Amino acid sequence: MIEAFIFDLDGVITDTANYHYLAWKALGDKLGIKIDEEFNETLKGISRMESLERILIYGNKQNDFTVKEKEKMANDKNQYYVELIKNISPKDILPGIEKLLKDIKSNNIKIGLASASKNATMVLENLGLKESFDFIADASKCKNSKPNPEIFLMAAKGLGINPINCIGVEDAIAGIDAINDANMYSVGVGDESSLGKANIVFSDTNKLNFKYIVENYSCCSNC
Ligand code: BG6
Ligand code: MG
């Protein structure tokens, strides 16, 4: 029985995934590391510091900087990112999301957030959606970045729901792995060929359909 939906934020609720990309790209340009959309896919869902480490390895500069220098780089990226998102508002909620949240609520199912972003609460506030969430897992308390299931398990615990009765919604490959390893039912949003490990995939948020998800979940748990 479904008792909770647990959402990723960036790229699912709103298109901030693109702003993360732009901010990392700007840092990459400064460092002489070219970050394209394909490499960016491997950063989706990954925490700030781990993303930086991956970028440095990608550019073969993993041994070039001190911890302090890396902290400054991550901080600069974040400042640029915060600048990019400061004007986001309810009009930036991705299509289909408000309807899905409404359908979930009207069926008395809980809603949680499992984002790796330390900016998540601010983004939800700007979107006017904070009150729609019954629990927001705190990324700063999460030790293991997705694909580790920790942040999804934190959200389920905070909601007081057994993971087996949770649906996780994600746009990142690392996020789908995290949901599956948390023993939740996984819903992917995006390209079916890269999110193939999800229980079901919708090509974009506008196609998310509460009834369809519930029917497929029941079928899955019966067979
Ligand atoms: C995830 C994004 O939601 O949050 C990643 O998909 C991002 O791209 C991560 O790096 C951490 O975000 P922040 O806002 O804490 O730097
Ligand atoms: Mg995401």
Taking residues 117-141, what's their average pLDDT? Answer: 97
What percent of the chain stands above pLDDT 90?
96
Tens of pLDDT, residue by residue over 42-87, are: 999 999 999 999 999 999 999 999 999 999 999 999 999 999 999 9
State whether 73 and 117 are in the same domain.
Answer: no
Whether 175 is in the pocket of ligand 1, judged by its Cβ within 6 Å, is no
- Residue 8 designated active-site: yes
What's the rounded mean pLDDT across residues 162-174? 97
Which residue has the least CA distance to atom 11 on ligand 1? 117
Domain with residue 30: its CATH number is 1.10.150.240
> In terms of domains, do 32 and 77 share one?
yes
Q: Are residues 180 and 213 in the same domain?
A: yes
Mutate to test the pocket of ligand 1, among 20, 41, 44, 70 (most ligand atoms within 8 A of CB): 20
Crossing angle, helix 173-181 and helix 150-159, to 10 degrees?
A: 50
Comparing CA positions, the residue from 6, 4, 3 lying closest to residue 178 is 6
Segment 92-104 shows an average pLDDT of: 98
Please check the confidence at residue 31 and state whether its pLDDT lies above 60.
Answer: yes
92: pLDDT confidence band, cut at 50, 70 and 90? very high
| Average pLDDT rounded to a whole number, residues 94-110 | 98
Cα 128 to Cα 125: distance, rounded to the nearest angstrom: 5
CATH of the domain at 189: 3.40.50.1000
Closest CA to 179 of 191, 164, 194: 164
Could you tell me if 144 and 176 lie in one domain?
yes
pLDDT score of 106 more than 60 = yes
Question: Which residue did the predictor score with more confidence, 221 or 58?
Answer: 58
Both 9 and 24 in one domain: the answer is no
Is 177 catalytic? The answer is no
Residue 99 has pLDDT above 60, yes or no: yes
The torsion angle over the Cα atoms of residues 199, 137, 126 and 100, rounded to 10 degrees, is 30
**Going by C-beta distance under 8 Å and a sequence separation of 6 or more, which residues neighbour residue 126?**
85, 86, 88, 89, 92
pLDDT at 222 over 70: no
Are residues 79 and 60 located together in one domain of the fold? Answer: yes
Rounded mean pLDDT, 83-110:
97
Q: What is the mean pLDDT of residues 201-207?
A: 98
Structural domain boundaries, residue 35: 17-85
Q: Is residue 20 over pLDDT 70? A: yes
Same domain membership, residue 28 and residue 138: no
> Quick check: 220 pLDDT over 90?
no
Is residue 127 a contact partner of residue 13, using CB atoms and an 8 Å limit? yes
Ligand nearest to the CA of 21: 1
Decide which of 48, 65, 85 is a domain's last residue: 85
Q: Which atom of ligand 1 is nearest to the CA of 11?
A: 6
Atom of ligand 1 nearest to the CA of 51: 10
pLDDT for 221 equals 63
One domain for residues 117 and 69: no
Number of domain units in the chain:
2
Residue 195: pLDDT band (50, 70, 90) is very high
Which of 61, 85, 109 finishes a domain? Answer: 85
Q: Identify whether residues 180 and 143 lie together within a single domain.
A: yes
Whether residue 219 is predicted with pLDDT greater than 80 in this model: the reply is no
Q: How far apart are CA 66 and CA 149, in angstroms?
A: 30
Last residue of a domain, one of 85, 113, 130: 85
In the chain, the percentage of residues whose pLDDT exceeds 70 is 98
